[in-house]
Amino acid sequence: MSTPEVPLATPDPVSLTGRDLHLSFGDNQVLRGVDIQVDAGTTTTVIGPSGSGKSTLLRVLNRLHEPQSGDILIDGRSVLKDNPDELRRRIGMVFQQFNLFPHMTVADNIALAPRKLRGLSKDEARELALAQLNTVGLVDKADVRPSTLSGGQQQRVAIARALAMAPQIMFFDEATSALDPELVKGVLALMTELSREGMTMVVVTHEMGYARGVSDNVLFMDEGVVVETGTPDQLFEDPESERLRAFLSEVL
């Protein structure tokens, strides 16, 4: 029996809005009034120097840190009064470190959360894991340990694991930064496919090719504020601020 492929993106994408978000750690004002609008089915990339608050913005948007002020809305409705777990379940996250469980097989890594949190039976979760692995091109690796895979394959498993929870939004935080250069391409190709299928995504990345070629909007952060935001053409071809021009001249 052949394993089915499942669509990468959710059939009903949602929009995500962050409004005037503030967060400090002690005296360190890490987010100083950040606005972000990600329309349903679009991809926003977040670029900016190290320490500018990009990772913190993602963590605030899924309420791993509660914003000290501001609002977070999905499809125009504030989610700050809801249970944070509910929001986190709607948002899949992929980090620089893959964080796969080393003692479990690849398929079990993917099946775990759907069994525990979506209430799937063991067989259903296994079937879902195989279908998801098929979609990311790794179904033949279902029964091996993650450590036997390349970094790029492990990251694709981590993406499959996030997608198995049927998220409405995906966050990527420097998902390719820990990979050897030759492994970056496969992961970017998968992220590109996910964008093109119409997943709502927020992608923190140093991959300017992806930011420029795939994303609908780009947001440039520095020192906890959004310095510029717009289409890739606007930001890359015609940057307005000195700070963005300086940043681009370093990374391009």
For ligand ADP, the binding residues (CB under 6 A) are 25, 28, 30, 48, 50-56
Residue 149 has which token pair? Answer: 């895979």
- State which residue, 28 or 83, has the beta carbon closest to ligand ADP: 28
Tell the smallest beta-carbon distance from residue 200 to ligand ADP (Å). 20
Q: Which of ligand ADP, Mg ion, none does residue 53 bind to, with CB < 5 to 8 Å depending on kind?
A: ligand ADP
In what order do the strands lie in the sheet containing 169-173? 91-94, 169-173, 200-204, 43-47, 217-222, 225-230
- Residue 228, both tokens: 């510029």
What residues does 44 pair with on adjacent strands? Answer: 202, 217
Going by DSSP bridges, is the β-strand pair 91-94/169-173 parallel, antiparallel, or unpaired? parallel
Residue closer to Mg ion by CB (options 9, 57) is: 57
CB of 139 to ligand ADP, least distance (A): 34
User: How many CB atoms neighbour CB 57 within 10 A?
Assistant: 28
Q: Indicate whether 205 belongs to the interface with Mg ion (CB under 5 A).
A: no
- In order of 44, 142, 157, the CA distances from 163 in angstroms are 18, 16, 10
Instruction: Count the residues of the shown chain that bind Mg ion, applying the rule CB under 5 A.
Output: 2
Which lies closer to Mg ion via its Cβ, residue 58 or residue 163? 58
Min. distance of Cβ 48 from ligand ADP in angstroms?
A: 6
Contact partner, 50, from Mg ion, ligand ADP, none, Cβ < 5-8 Å per class: ligand ADP
30 binds, among ligand ADP, Mg ion, none (CB under 5 to 8 A by kind): ligand ADP
Residue 119: CB minimum distance to Mg ion, A: 34
Q: Residue 197 carries which DSSP code?
A: T
Full DSSP string of 65-130: S--SEEEEEETTEE-TTS-HHHHHHHEEEE-SS----TTS-HHHHHHHHHHHHS---HHHHHHHHH
Stretch that binds Mg ion, among 46-54, 82-90, 121-129, 177-185 (CB under 5 A): 46-54
- Nearest distance in Å: CB 61, ligand ADP: 12
DSSP 144-158: S-GGGS-HHHHHHHH
State which residue, 48 or 239, has the beta carbon closest to ligand ADP. Answer: 48
Q: Which does 198 bind (CB under 5 to 8 A by kind): Mg ion, ligand ADP, none?
A: none
How near is the Cβ of 162 to Mg ion at its closest, in Å? 18
CB of 228 to ligand ADP, least distance (A): 15
Helix (H) or strand (E) run with residue 171 in it:
strand 169-173
Name which of ligand ADP, Mg ion, none residue 147 binds, using a CB cut-off of 5 to 8 Å depending on partner kind.
none
- Determine if 55 is a binding residue for Mg ion (CB under 5 A): yes
Q: Give the sign of the dihedral formed by CA 75, CA 77, CA 80, CA 83.
A: negative
Helix H or strand E encompassing 59: helix 54-61
Residues that bind Mg ion (CB under 5 A): 54-55
